[in-house]
Amino acid sequence: MSLLLTGASGFVGSALIGPLSNIDLVRCATRNPNFSTSFPSQLVLLNSPINGLTNWTEALQSVKVVIHCAGITHVTESSSQLALSDYRRVNTQDTLRLATLAAAHGVKRFIFLSSIKVNGDFTHPRKPFTPFDLPKPRDPYGISKLEAEQGLFRIAEETGMEVVIIRPPLVYGPNVKANFLSMVKILSNSIPLPFGCIRNLRSLVALDNLIDLILKCVAHPAAANQIFLVSDDEDLSTVELLRRMGCALGKPARLLPVPISCLTFLASIFGKHKLLQNACLSLQVDISKTRELLEWHPVVSVDEGLRQVARNFLIEK
């Protein structure tokens, strides 16, 4: 059984290649001409931007499972200025074109790495997101992922190709980028942070745990045409995350008890609303369905996941 992995040079994709190579031949699709891997695999270099016109024909030859990780993945203060049409072109249109071609080539199962942002941006106390909730995406990224999911289920109904949707929250692990890396850098330099008054709960997922779930979904019969949420199954407040990440780095977090009203005022001045939202609001997910239907459980703890981040950061520093 050959597998096609898209986004092979990305944060999640590159970590998948080794484990997938233990299952069968993995074909890696990427636009990065400098990408290489030491694991047994075939590289397919895409010579055009990923959009609704991408030529996937070569990549799909003799493939039975597609794991689609390619897309616009990080929504930051700067990338949030992208138009909905930009997200749709990559995250929606190309996903659906790839899935349509995959079904025509006889692909049995299509695994789509979506996002918890399909559910929404935050949760209320003791009301975590579930896969059964009515989706309420609040930004172009989440909307584009939801539209891709809806289109994939239509394709599955029309063609019989099985679809698996995975909606992760924030993913962290070795070589993590964006805001999580910024947090690690700040903690490693013992810079005080004004988050001592925050009392929230957020679900995260270690890269190893996400990879393990994806591998489970490759062949598990109960995964067909299902939506799964994933996390480390231990929710942390921002304060607890900072303290435990600081402990992993050997640099105790220095947290100042700044009132949230002051943080809100400062965020409005400096245009950091999304950063403050991520730091202050809760976002919890319920992985009961994932545990029970797939008999899956996280393979690493939060603390082990954070230690992996710290070890990699200190080596690369």
Predicted pLDDT at 235: 97
- Interval 52-70: pLDDT, tens: 677 788 889 899 999 999 9
pLDDT > 50? residue 77 = no
pLDDT value at residue 45: 61
Per-position DSSP letters for the chain, written without gaps between them: -EEEEESTTSHHHHHHHHHHHTTS-EEEEES-TT---SSS-EEEE--S-SSTT---HHHHTTEEEEEE--S-----TTGGGS-HHHHIIIIIIIHHHHHHHHHHTT--EEEEE--GGGT-S--BTTB-B-TTSPP---SHHHHHHHHHHHHHHHHHHHH--EEEEEE--EEE-TT--HHHHHHHHHHHTT--BS-TT----B-EEEHHHHHHHHHHHHH-GGGTTEEEE---S--B-HHHHHHHHHHHHT----B----HHHHHHHHHHHT-HHHHHHHHS-B-B--HHHHHHH----SS-HHHHHHHHHHHHHHH-
Please confirm, yes or no, whether 87 is among the known catalytic residues: no
User: What is the structure's pLDDT at 289?
Assistant: 98
How far is 302 from 259, CA to CA, in rounded Å? 28
Q: Read off the pLDDT of each residue in 278-297 and give the average, rounded to a whole number.
A: 96
Q: Would you state the pLDDT for residue 126?
A: 85
Report the share of the chain in percent with pLDDT over 90. Answer: 73
Q: How far apart are CA 22 and CA 174, in angstroms?
A: 21
Taking Cα atoms as reference points, which of 111, 141, 82 lies closest to residue 6? 111
Section 20-29 average pLDDT: 86
Q: Mean pLDDT lowest for which of 29-33, 202-206, 266-270, 309-313?
A: 29-33
| Average pLDDT estimate for 259-270 | 86
pLDDT band at 1 (very low <50, low <70, confident <90, very high): low
Domains of the chain, earliest start first? 2-174+204-233 (3.40.50.720)
CA distances 283 to 31, 64, 117, 126, 231, Å, are 33, 35, 10, 10, 11
The pair phi, psi for residue 6, each rounded to 5°, is: -95, 155
Mean pLDDT of 237-260: 97
Asked whether residue 37 carries a pLDDT value surpassing 80, the answer given is no
Full-model pTM:
0.94
Between these two residues, 173 and 270, which has the higher pLDDT value? 173
Residue 280 has pLDDT above 70, yes or no: yes
Q: Which of 49, 155, 161 is nearest to 110 (CA)?
A: 161
User: What confidence score (pLDDT) does residue 281 get?
Assistant: 94
pLDDT surpassing 90 at residue 11: yes
Task: State the greatest distance between any 2 C-alpha atoms of the chain, in Å, as a whole number.
Answer: 58
The answer on pLDDT for 33 being more than 80 is no
Q: What is the pLDDT of residues 110-166, one digit of tens each?
A: 999 999 999 999 999 889 999 999 999 999 999 999 999 999 999 999 999 999 999
**Mean pLDDT rounded to a whole number for the chain:** 91
Q: What is the average pLDDT across 218-240? A: 97
Specify the pairing of strand 162-167 against strand 226-229. parallel
Q: Across residues 11-33, what is the average pLDDT?
A: 87
Pick the catalytic residue: 110, 141, 228, 296? 141
